[in-house]
Amino acid sequence: MRASYDVVIIGGAAIGSSIAFFLSRSTTFPGSVLVIEKDPSYTKCSTTLSLASIRQQFSTPVNILASAFSIDFIKKARAKFGTLGDIGFDESGYLITASSHGATALRANYKIQQSLGTESALLSPEQITQRFPWMSTKGIELACLGLSGEGWFDPYSLLNLYISEAKSRGVHYVAAEVSDLDVSNGQVKGVRLVDGRKISCGCAVNAAGPAANSIATMAGQTLPVEPRKRIVYVFDCREKAKITNSPLFFDPNGVFCRPEGNYFLTGVSPPEDQDPTCDDFDVSYDLFENIIWPTLANRVPAFEAIKLVNAWAGHYAYNTLDQNALLGPLPPVSNLYFANGFSGHGIQQSPAIGRAIAELITTGDFMSIDFSELSAERILTGHTVRETNIF
Ligand SMILES: Cc1cc2nc3c(=O)[nH]c(=O)nc-3n(C[C@H](O)[C@H](O)[C@H](O)COP(=O)(O)OP(=O)(O)OC[C@H]3O[C@@H](n4cnc5c(N)ncnc54)[C@H](O)[C@@H]3O)c2cc1C
């Protein structure tokens, strides 16, 4: 590690390492890059505890475009990076279902997605039964199925791709915790580590995930981002052979389920009033017993007899303003770039966000996808970007 870098990235998981990856590939940026990561095992970060699922079924054009780039990146990874790009992409799709209550919104979102080239189809209950005969359509009026590009992948492999490639192109990584920022005249001049070391920098990037606000505070700023616990339950089903061709499906009440090897993963976001800021990893089974299991049994008759085999907790970096990304600097500090607040859709956006923040740092603007409506500056105006397809 040197005493000074052009760019210092705080947090080396999906977002921080994707930014490092794209900076290291820039043909116009000869600068030096350091990634500071406090836990290089990456066992407690959102990235590796996530479901690593990707969809284009959003309501906001910028989120749809971000996923489109990420899907392209993921699909081409094997051809571009060889075995390093083998990230286990399973393109089984997303099936988002709606009751009569949500059908109008689902149809409207479908139209927006279609206008941006998304390959998906609206399905009536009869069409759902034809494709997925193991699923009950009770209470479902309409569903939308991604036909291409949606599915899930292995988050460790994607992270490993970013890190390995970035390192091979000269990015330095250090295992250390950032404890403070040196800020003067509206500029971050350096970063201080818990072990007392200091590193000067031309600019800094906050890629600290659920800890994003603690980094912002070091620069005298406040981000509306807090850790919110999300629990993933793993279950087995005796009659799993019946569940063929399963996409990741969402019940109209928000419970999701998808296959993973011989098992299934499921979960649901708790109601807003039961979703406090929380940074422990304790697993509670209340949501599973009271909401998830009854929902699954109602939706898939074969799931009436299931066995819970595991569960884990991770954290969303929950943006309380509008649950969307907060990108770029927040005045008056001009060279602290935020890449935070992704809530439940950060790993799928990581290729697009890595490229976008690298462009912002090297050119001063978003060049490929215009992410300006997700700029962190909206915190100051209170302008929100509402995404209705958020779970
Ligand atoms: C249960 C669950 C399911 C999810 N499912 C999906 C999904 O299906 N699809 C999807 O797109 N997204 C999903 N997400 C969200 C996704 O995981 C995150 O949005 C994404 O991983 C964010 O990546 P990140 O790099 O910003 O944060 P993180 O992965 O949390 O990484 C932040 C890093 O910063 C480091 N750090 C923090 N503070 C410091 C410091 N002071 N000094 C040095 N290092 C520091 C941490 O150690 C950590 O490694 C899910 C999240 C959870 C919890």
pLDDT tens profile 174-207 = 999 999 999 999 999 999 999 999 999 999 999 9
**CA 189–ligand 1 middle distance (angstroms):** 26
Q: Look over the chain and give the mean of its residue pLDDT values, rounded to a whole number.
A: 96
Confidence of residue 363 (pLDDT cuts 50, 70, 90): very high
pLDDT score recorded for residue 387: 80
The protein residue with its alpha carbon nearest to ligand 1, atom 33, reads 11
pTM over 0.75: yes
Quote the tokens at residue 47: 């990235």
Quote the tokens at residue 301: 């008759």
**CA 319–ligand 1 middle distance (angstroms):** 13
Pocket residue to mutate for ligand 1, from 9, 42, 46, 390, most atoms within 8 A of Cβ: 46
200-205-210 Cα angle (round to 5):
125
CATH class for the domain made up of 92-150+227-316: alpha beta
Confidence of residue 272 (pLDDT cuts 50, 70, 90): confident
Nearest ligand 1 atom, CA 215: 41
**CA 357–ligand 1 middle distance (angstroms):** 17
Pocket of ligand 1 (CB under 6 A): 10-16, 36-39, 42, 45-47, 49-53, 177-178, 207-211, 230, 232, 314-317, 342, 344-348
- Mean pLDDT for the stretch of residues 19-28: 97
Q: What percent of the chain has pLDDT over 90?
A: 97
Nearest ligand 1 atom, CA 176: 43
Residue 93's contacts (CB-CB under 8 Å, 6 or more residues apart) are 145, 146, 147, 150, 151, 247, 248
The protein residue with its alpha carbon nearest to ligand 1, atom 22, reads 346
Nearest ligand 1 atom, CA 152: 8
Is residue 114's pLDDT more than 70? yes
- Mean pLDDT for the stretch of residues 299-304: 97
Domain 4-50+155-224+321-381, what architecture? 3-Layer(bba) Sandwich (3.50)
Nearest ligand 1 atom, CA 36: 43
The protein residue with its alpha carbon nearest to ligand 1, atom 10, reads 345
Pocket residue to mutate for ligand 1, from 45, 181, 257, most atoms within 8 A of Cβ: 45
- Mean pLDDT for the stretch of residues 385-390: 79
Is residue 345's pLDDT more than 90? yes
**CA 299–ligand 1 middle distance (angstroms):** 31
Is residue 389's pLDDT more than 80? no
Q: Where are the domains of the chain?
A: 4-50+155-224+321-381, 92-150+227-316
Nearest ligand 1 atom, CA 177: 42
The residue written with tokens 């399905």 in the block is 123
- Mean pLDDT for the stretch of residues 238-259: 97
Q: What percent of the chain has pLDDT over 70?
A: 99
Is residue 391's pLDDT more than 80? no
**CA 341–ligand 1 middle distance (angstroms):** 10
- Mean pLDDT for the stretch of residues 386-390: 76
CA-to-CA distance for 137 and 134, rounded, in angstroms? 10
Is residue 89's pLDDT more than 80? yes
Nearest ligand 1 atom, CA 343: 19
The protein residue with its alpha carbon nearest to ligand 1, atom 15, reads 344
Asked whether the CA dihedral 376, 348, 63, 288 is positive or negative, the reply is negative
CA-to-CA distance for 292 and 378, rounded, in angstroms? 35
Is residue 390's pLDDT more than 80? no
CA-to-CA distance for 340 and 326, rounded, in angstroms? 5
Pocket residue to mutate for ligand 1, from 1, 347, 389, most atoms within 8 A of Cβ: 347
Is residue 88's pLDDT more than 70? yes
pLDDT score recorded for residue 250: 97
